[in-house]
Chain A
Amino acid sequence: MKPDIDDYLPLAPATLHILLSLAVEPMHGYGIMQEVLRQSGGRYNLGPGTLYDNLQRLMKQRMVEEVAGPRQEGNSRRRYYRLSSLGRGVLSQELARLEDVVHEGRMRLRALKPGRA
């Protein structure tokens, strides 16, 4: 049975950042942490324990899957992860949901501004 994407929404911040990091290309754990740091402008520093706990859960939910690393990668100990089609779909739905939230929020804030009233 195909899982319902809405069951996974909304995503926790750490999950969202991890899925976003993997949206472009497969990455290893340390690369994901660096990417999350970059995405959040240095505000969200993901620790290894939190990262792999999330990856474990995401792999169980089949949103992320492990892939072989690139040939030029010298460190064979590292594991690479990528988004699955399910993960990509969940991420798309979450971003759409967030866009709605942002849109709704902006409308309400705009309505609250005194000059526009």
Chain B
Amino acid sequence: MLRWLYIQLIWLHPAPFRWRFGDDMLDDFDRAPNRVKPRYLADAVASVARQWLLRPEFRHPETTAARTQPSLETASAPLFQTIETYKPRPAALLHGGLLATLSIFTAVLLIAKGGGVTRPFLIGAHYPRSGLLPVDRNSVPGSDLNTTVNLGSDPSDAWLKLARPYFLSMPVLRALDTDRDFKLSPLEIGNAPAALRKLDTHYEGRVTAEECGLPISPNSVLAARPAQLRRQFMNYHPVLAALDADYNGEISSWEIDHAGAALKKLDLNHDGYLTAGELIPFETAVRAGLR
């Protein structure tokens, strides 16, 4: 840890000093006994401050490097020296940085603007160009395309946003909407009796308001008048009101059998489908700002 700190302190010295004495400083630190090392750290801190504040004349490498070459006349060992000690000036580095930034900016701008430059070798383009690999349809048999693509509901549709939680909160609609597209198709309307019978968990041949999703808490004051509550619940939701033809608060066996015909009465635009606009209660739609 101390060694790591000491290396960081060496790195904080001006580059010429670091290049010149960094290795020696670290070597001295490694040789020193452990009890001395904290003091060496303090000494390095002072040295960093001294170098940056009091030694501006040593920050240029050439001033030290040129003068500190080992003297050849005393060197008994072979020495290897570089001919040139040139290093770019800070101003040159700054100019280079600016030029590089400008070049990158220009390149990004050209790319962002679509180029504006002729790209003769580009294969494929989003607009027709006569010079780019002309399409030859001679091999395609001449026949009109007759495939019908059915697109789903627009996810951004406000009715759909409202329909999703509503359908999920209503057991009857969950049972009827088998393909989970939040609307009832003619097929789903035709299969309504079978779907409703699945809700009859007590096998009584009828679907009660509770089975349709009415939550009655035993502690509620409304629990004292369950029949009235059931009728209100069934009458509030258009799909339940249509199914509960006799307004008694439950869907009887006869009403289950005739559920298809009852649901078709909700199809106001006679398109055969029951959409969110035809199934969601008026008050709910008003609160959502859709009416």
Contact call A55/B79, Cβ cutoff below 8 A: no
* Among candidates B50, B63, B64, B68, residue contacting A53 with C-beta atoms closer than 8 Å: B50
Tell me the residues in window 36-90 of chain B with beta carbons closer than 8 Å to chain A beta carbons.
36, 39-40, 42-48, 50-51, 55, 57-58, 63-64, 67-71, 74-77, 79
Residues of A within 8 A of B68 (CB): 59, 65-66
Residues of A near B23 (CB, < 8 A) are 77
- Inter-chain CA distance A36–B142, complex, in Å, is 101
Q: Is A110 an interface residue (CB 8 A)?
A: no
Contact A56 B20 (CB under 8 A): yes
Does B280 belong to the interface (CB within 8 Å)? Answer: no
| A8 part of interface (Cβ distance < 8 Å) | no
> Which of A28, A50, A68: most chain B Cβ within 10 A?
A68
A71 at the interface (CB under 8 A from B): yes
A interface footprint on B244-267 (CB within 8 Å = 1, 0 otherwise) = 000000000000000000000000
Does B31 make an interface contact (CB < 8 A)? yes
Give complex CA distance A56, B56 in Å: 12
Does B167 touch A at the CB level, under 8 Å? Answer: no
For the complex, what is the distance from the CA of A39 to the CA of B58, rounded to whole Å? 29
Contacts A68-B75, A77-B23; is A60 near B64 (CB within 8 Å)?
A: yes
Question: A91 to chain B: closest CB distance in Å?
Answer: 19
- At the interface, is chain B mostly helix, strand, loop or mixed? helix
Interface size on A, residues (CB 8 A): 29
B247 to chain A, nearest CB (A): 96
Contact: B43 with A49, CB < 8 Å? yes
B2 to chain A, nearest CB (A): 13
Contact mask for chain A residues 8-48; partner B; CB cutoff 8 A; 1 contact, 0 none: 00000000000000000000111001000000000001011
A62 at the interface (CB under 8 A from B): yes
For residue B48, which residues in chain A have a CB less than 8 angstroms away from its CB? Answer: 49
- B181 in contact (CB, < 8 A): no
B69: A residues at CB distance < 8 A: 66
Instruction: Return the chain B residue nearest A69 by Cβ.
Output: B77
List, in ascending order, chain B residues with CB within 8 A of A49's CB. 25, 40, 43-48, 50
- State whether A52 touches B67 (Cβ < 8 A): no
B1-49 residues at the A interface, CB under 8 angstroms:
17, 20-21, 23-25, 27-29, 31, 36, 39-40, 42-48
Quick one: which of B28, B46, B75 contacts A29, CB cutoff 8 A?
Answer: B28
In the bound complex, do residue B71 and residue A67 qualify as a contact, i.e. CB atoms below 8 Å apart?
yes
Given known pairs A47-B43, A48-B40, A56-B17, the reply for A75 and B27 (CB within 8 Å) is yes
Could you tell me the distance in whole angstroms from the C-beta of A107 to the nearest C-beta in chain B? 37
Minimum Cβ distance to chain B for residue A105 (Å): 31
B25→A67 contact, CB < 8 A: no
Point out the residues of chain A lying under 8 angstroms from B51, CB to CB.
53
A residues within 8 Å of B by Cβ?
A: 28-30, 33, 45, 47-53, 55-57, 59-60, 62, 65-69, 71, 75, 77-79, 82
